[in-house]
Amino acid sequence: MARKLDIIQSTFVPLNMENVDTDQIIPARFLKATTRDGFGKNLFRDWRYSNDDEAQPKTDFVLNHTQYTGKILVAAKNFGCGSSREHAAWAIADYGFSVVVSSFFADIFKNNALNNGLLPVTVTEAFLQKIFAQTNTETITVNLQQQTITIDATGEQEIFEINGYKKTCLLNGYDDIDYLLSIKEDIVNYENNLV
Amino acid sequence: MAKTLFEKIWEQHIIKTIDGGPSVLYIDTHFIHEVTSPQAFNGLNKRGIKVFRPQQTVATADHNVPTLNQHLPIKEELSRKQVEALIKNCAEHGVELYGLGHPYQGIVHVIGPELGVTQPGMTMVCGDSHTSTHGAFGSIAFGIGTSEVEMVLTTQCLLQSKPKLMRIHVEGVLNKGVVSKDIVLYILSKISASGATGYAVEFAGSAIRNLSMEARMTICNMSIEMGGRCGLIAPDETTFSYIKGRQFAPTGAAWDKKLNYWKTLFTDSDAVFDKEYFFDAADIEPMITYGTNPGMGIGVTATIPTPETINENDKSGLSKSLAYMGLQQGAPIKGQKVDYVFIGSCTNSRIEDLRMVAGFVKGKKKANEVEVWIVPGSKQVEAQAKAEGIDKVFEEAGFILRQPGCSACLGMNEDKIPAGKYCISTSNRNFEGRQGAGARTLLASPLTAAAAAITGVVTDVRELMN
Ligand code: SF4
């Protein structure tokens, strides 16, 4: 059972960088856990801290700027490329984000996000730049039912794509396993028909 | 209707398609390892169910394992716990485990093919993005996240949308000193690290067909670095003779039957792709990366790009990348000092890679200041290297042959490159911190890496070849 999503209105954290790979989102040395919890504190670990030390935050990294908060992470294109580690999606969700906005997502990351109640919203490059141009107090509204993303201050809006099945899952908090278990008979039939 | 190789395999494995949604894809073989499986097993245990088809699941320990003294208990507590969890989970669920100490243990994408588990026409997945490697046999093989690992463990199925289709042709004959790793780094430098996102990529053309299976695996391995969902190459006589006689390969009548099926696995001549690229093998020289994504590669005799000469995709990241790498735009890469040489990873740790390195370094000595780690992909590769005396050649050159595992490819075990140091690596990712916090990675072929081991600097291997 994943968490349910519908309308998310929140300020956002601007991560204006391209090609953010999952090794940056959660470095490999933090993949040693055997549970899904607690990854948020190591999100972007090596960009957040000098010498791997929480007492030495890097002042140039956006997560360390207290004026930026919110449930929406906004990143530049090709977000989530590289390793398939789902820990990247867990870390972003565990940190407190519900939505990631970018003009382009890597495939595996997108799937992993959707499987964890983290909504990837793909916008045009132009819209992305409009978001980055907003100040930190402005909010964005993502409406999953309507498939819209709106910059509240200006009313500018875009429609985003999402697979209909995935949308239903997110709205209701179902996951793929629930569905696959429900069609077990079809799976066994398929196997029996293999020559 | 004319079909592509991908479509032929895909359609055979679709159980049903949800209206307006993804399809239910049946998975023939599932590989698991210690890092991305524990949470999936927790999920099964929570639901109180067992692995649905344990015989179609193969497990190994590779990501986290030490590459020295593997007979001793793993020192690092968290790594040890993950490996122990894998042993326990496999035992409870009846999954075969080729763990530490087993003669079949090794990097998951090395052992699948070498055991004959990987076969044409299959669907294969693993919680590791380089599962694309297995596509070299003409199978649909791709990396998945842990939730998907849980799906496959519970139902042997995944929900998937059909990707778009791309074909990349490489025609002609390779230049001296140019090997398959150079082909794939070259393609990456042309189409960028996101150039194939959303696509299944078929590699075709005479230069690809002339490659051995090991060399084909190197190419498919890095299709994920272009963003591709998977990479595949149509099976042919090279494929069939590689598989024949391996531990889990079919035999007798079953072999004949399979072979007949495998021979149907090619792209029909008038099948349509969403995108095609054409490259000439003669244009490729030994390649090396200078930046922090695998698309940032150049010929070894070229200069590091400037904002004017770089492609659009990497323009905005150039100065950040070069600052991290401590390199200058416009400067030659040749002659750049190297501190470490890592020859290993699922990209280049097969017996053919070690033979290639041994053939090149025989009678040469490594440069004094350079540390050279050679990490075989599997126990079988290690045993074969020893049987052929390759370990002796390495020893004489001053190289260390370690024990199998992922090692410095991702720096999860002790094999990390120190901050600020340069490592020429045969692995597949040069991301910031990939080989250790602050480590600077230059991706290259085993030959180019070996040449740097001898000279201590980035070298055009052709100058050292007779
Ligand atoms: S060698 Fe590297 S890329 Fe290959 S499976 Fe291991 S960690 Fe992944």
ipTM of model: 0.90
Q: Classify burial at B440, counting beta carbons within 10 Å of its beta carbon; exposed 0-12, middle 13-18, buried 19 or more.
A: buried
- Verify whether ligand 1 is closer than 6 Å to residue B350 (CB atom): no
- Which residues of chain A are modeled with pLDDT < 70? 1-2, 195
State residue A30's pLDDT score.
87
Cβ-defined contact of A108 to B16 (cutoff 8 Å): no
- Verify whether ligand 1 is closer than 6 Å to residue B184 (CB atom): no
Does B56 reach chain A within 8 Å, measured CB to CB?
A: no
Give contacts of A29 with chain B, Cβ < 8 Å: 411-412
Q: Which atom of ligand 1 is nearest to the CA of B62?
A: 6
Q: Confidence class of residue B54 from pLDDT cuts 50, 70 and 90?
A: very high
Helix extents (H) in chain A:
22-25, 45-48, 87-95, 107-114, 125-132, 164-172, 176-182, 184-193
Which member of B19, B36, B154 has the closest CB to residue A177? B154
State residue A195's pLDDT score.
63
Where would I find the beta strands (DSSP E) of B178-281?
199-204, 230-232, 275-280
N-term to C-term CA, chain B: 51
- Verify whether ligand 1 is closer than 6 Å to residue B343 (CB atom): no
Backbone angles phi, psi at B125, to 5 degrees: -140, 165
> B5-160 has which fold?
Aconitase; domain 3 (3.30.499)
What superfamily in CATH does domain B164-283 come from?
Aconitase, Domain 2 (3.40.1060.10)
- Verify whether ligand 1 is closer than 6 Å to residue B345 (CB atom): yes
Q: Which atom of ligand 1 is nearest to the CA of B407?
A: 1
Min Cα–Cα distance to chain B from A182, Å = 10
**CB environment B325-339: b (16+ within 10 A), e (fewer):** bebebeeebbebebb
Q: Searching chain A, which residue's CA lies closest to the CA of residue B261?
A: A195
The residues pairing with A79 across neighbouring beta strands, listed in sequence order, are: A105
Residue A180 structure tokens: 């696959």
* Residues forming CATH 3.30.499.10 domain(s) in chain B: 5-160, 290-463
Which member of A107, A177, A190 has the closest CB to residue B227? A107
How many Å lie between the centroid of ligand 1 and the Cα of residue B129? 8
> Please, how many CA atoms are within 13 Å of residue B238, restricted to the half-sphere of its CB?
16
Residue owning tokens 């780094």: B185
Which member of A81, A82, A108 has the closest CB to residue B145? A108
State residue B182's pLDDT score.
98
> Which 3 state secondary structure label does DSSP give B131?
helix
Does B264 reach chain A within 8 Å, measured CB to CB?
A: no
Q: Confidence class of residue B414 from pLDDT cuts 50, 70 and 90?
A: confident
Q: How many CB atoms lie within 10 A of CB B283?
A: 12
Residue B273 structure tokens: 């792709």
Cβ-defined contact of A84 to B293 (cutoff 8 Å): no
State residue A28's pLDDT score.
86
- Per-residue model confidence as pLDDT tens digits over B350-397: 999 999 999 999 999 999 999 999 999 999 999 999 999 999 999 999
> Which 3 state secondary structure label does DSSP give A190?
helix
How many Å lie between the centroid of ligand 1 and the Cα of residue B426? 11
The Cα–Cα gap between B409 and B346 comes to 9
Q: List the one residue out of B233, B261, B448, B423 whose CA is nearest residue B326.
A: B423
Does B412 reach chain A within 8 Å, measured CB to CB?
A: yes
The residues pairing with B279 across neighbouring beta strands, listed in sequence order, are: B170
Helices B390-397 & B351-361 angle (0-180, nearest 10) = 50
**Torsion on CA atoms B409, B415, B419, B423, rounded to nearest 10:** -50
How many Å lie between the centroid of ligand 1 and the Cα of residue A151? 41
Cβ-defined contact of A83 to B410 (cutoff 8 Å): yes
Substitution candidate for ligand 1 out of B217, B345, B426 with most atoms within 8 A of CB: B345
- Interface list for A 128-147 with B (CB within 8 A): none
Cβ-defined contact of A28 to B411 (cutoff 8 Å): yes
Task: Supply the DSSP symbol for A147.
Answer: T
Does A188 reach chain B within 8 Å, measured CB to CB?
A: no
Helices B390-397 & B379-387 angle (0-180, nearest 10) = 80
> Which 3 state secondary structure label does DSSP give B151?
helix
Where would I find the beta strands (DSSP E) of B61-206?
96-98, 123-126, 140-143, 157-160, 164-171, 199-204
- Verify whether ligand 1 is closer than 6 Å to residue B63 (CB atom): yes
Q: How many CB atoms lie within 10 A of CB A41?
A: 12
- Interface list for A 102-121 with B (CB within 8 A): 104, 106-108, 111-112, 115-116
Mean pLDDT of B136-147: 95
Q: Classify burial at B56, counting beta carbons within 10 Å of its beta carbon; exposed 0-12, middle 13-18, buried 19 or more.
A: middle
- Per-residue model confidence as pLDDT tens digits over B176-185: 999 999 999 9
Q: List the one residue out of A161, A174, A27, A184 whose CA is nearest residue A115.
A: A174
Q: List the one residue out of B39, B47, B25, B154 whose CA is nearest residue A181.
A: B154
Residue B419 structure tokens: 């901050």
Residue B192 structure tokens: 């960028």
> B290-463 has which fold?
Aconitase; domain 3 (3.30.499)
Does B231 reach chain A within 8 Å, measured CB to CB?
A: no
The Cα–Cα gap between B423 and B121 comes to 37
**Centroid of chain to Cα B105:** 17
Residue B178 structure tokens: 């140019």
The Cα–Cα gap between A159 and B73 comes to 55
Residue B332 structure tokens: 């030659």
**CB environment B374-389: b (16+ within 10 A), e (fewer):** bbbbbbbbbebbeeee
Mean pLDDT of B461-466: 92
Q: Searching chain B, which residue's CA lies closest to the CA of residue A184?
A: B155
Which member of A46, A181, A184 has the closest CB to residue B433? A46
Q: Which atom of ligand 1 is nearest to the CA of B133?
A: 4
| Residue A4 near residue A172, CB atoms below 8 Å | yes
* Residues forming CATH 3.40.1060.10 domain(s) in chain B: 164-283
Inter-chain Cβ pairs, chain A and chain B, closer than 8 A? 171
Residue B426 has pLDDT above 60, yes or no: yes
Min Cα–Cα distance to chain A from B384, Å = 30
Give contacts of A17 with chain B, Cβ < 8 Å: 317, 320
The Cα–Cα gap between B184 and B213 comes to 15
Cβ-defined contact of A86 to B64 (cutoff 8 Å): no
| Residue A53 near residue A66, CB atoms below 8 Å | no
Proportion of chain B above pLDDT 70, given as a percent? 100
